[in-house]
Amino acid sequence: MPELPEVETITRQLAPHLEGRTLMGVEILDPRWCVPDDAAATETTLTGRRVERLERRGKHMVWRTDAGTLLLHLRMTGTLLVGADPDVPYQRVVLVLDDDTVVRFCDPRRFGTGRFFADDREADAYLDARLGPEPLGPDFDGPALRAAIRGRRAPIKALLLDQGVVAGVGNIYADEALFHARVHPQRPGGQLTGPQCAALVEGVRLSLRAGIASGGATIDDFRHVDGVEGWFQNDFSVHRRAGLPCPECGTPVTKRVVAGRGTYSCDRCQPRPRARRAVARPR
């Protein structure tokens, strides 16, 4: 699934093509893209809208228009391509701009979504109700993370994937962040100390910034707007490196399943949490 760096990359690449342009033609080929809204009505509503600016919130792309906001989510396999061949596979939406630029939303698994809000405040409220702080913003720091996970028994890896704890972090960058912070992915979130939370915040930021600088990571379907792959997958420290030496200590990287996701870590650099012994109750 495209995570924050991939969505940020697409947003930055699309902005020069879209900002200041008018949507002259909108064709929704798959009505599921805009559920629960009607496809024909959404086409009519979007046609003629002028795109003022592009933003990102978590894993959502935010298109601010002259009369409302369009929220796009790439989900697992969505891509936005500029100037692609008309017969490029898996097209779900086709957008034609006033300079004849064509943007195609392609999505093999058809999980990606687009929803238009006539009121910008409704769009912001929709996002705020579902997302925690931006990890690269001032509201995400060690105390904020510790407060969000205090008393939680779930593994810290699962909590990092919870978009209500922090927006935009997914499987790749959670693994990388935990490695940089020297925190084991199975450690219960509520057990993290203040210094560990501070280190993890820095680990999240480091991994996300590295991903953005590398144009995102392409493991399966992610592509830039011109169809080029990202290259952060070539710089992973632990993610998808099972059996390979840890870049810090040389210990083979371990793969396990945490929160239903394939998870990679170095059990030497990231010591496993000790199992708590059950306290015998007096009879």
Instruction: Show which residues are catalytic.
Output: 2-3, 59, 261
Residue 22 has what DSSP assignment? B
Q: What are phi and psi of 26, to 5 degrees?
A: -135, 120
Q: Which residue in 168, 243, 250 sits closest to 207, CA to CA?
A: 168
Under 8 Å between Cβ of 111 and 76: yes
Under 8 Å between Cβ of 179 and 269: yes
- Tell me if residue 68 falls in helix, strand or coil: strand
Q: What sections of 96-154 are H helices per DSSP?
A: 120-128, 142-149
**E strands present in the chain:** 23-28, 51-57, 60-65, 68-73, 79-82, 91-97, 102-106, 113-117, 254-258, 261-265
**Residue 196 CB coordination number (10 Å):** 19
Instruction: Tell me the two tokens of residue 245.
Output: 């030496």
